[in-house]
Amino acid sequence: MKVKLHDIGEGMTQADINHFFVEPGDVVKADDPLVEVQTDKMTAEIPAPTSGTIKEIKVERGSTVAVGTTVMILEPQGTFRTTRSIDKKVEKKVSNREAEGQFKPSHSPKRILAAPYTRKIARENDIKIEQVNGTGPANRITDEDVYSFINGSSQSATDVPMDAPVKTDDQASPKTIPYKGMRKQIGKKMVQSLFTIPHCTHFEEIDVTELISLRKQLKKQGKSVSATIFFMKALTICLKEFPLFNASLDEENETIFLYDECHIGLATDTSEGLIVPVMKNVEKKSFAKLQLEMKELIDKATNQSLTLQECKGSTFTISNVGPLGGSTGATPIINAPEVGLMAFHKTKKRPVVNEQDEIVVRSMMNISMSYDHRVVDGASAVAFTNRFTELIENPTLLVVELM
Give the three-class secondary structure for 95: helix
The end-to-end CA distance of the chain, in Å, is: 58
Q: In the chain, how long is the greatest CA-to-CA distance?
A: 102
Backbone angles phi, psi at 6, to 5 degrees: -105, 165
Q: Distance from CA of residue 302 to its chain's centroid?
A: 7
Burial class for 198, CB neighbours closer than 10 Å (0-12, 13-18, 19+): exposed
Please provide residue 279's backbone torsions phi and psi, each rounded to the nearest 5 degrees.
Answer: -90, 110
Neighbours of 240 (CB within 10 A): 14
Per DSSP, helices labelled H in 224-339 are 227-241, 287-302
Catalytic residue among 6, 107, 345, 373: 373
DSSP state string for 135-204: -SGGGPBPHHHHHHHHHHTTTSTTSPPTTPPPP--SS---------HHHHHHHHHHHHHHHHS-EEEEEE
373 is catalytic: yes
Helices (H), 68-142: 88-99, 116-124
Distances (CA, A) of 295 to 201, 268, 304: 29, 11, 14
Active site residues: 373
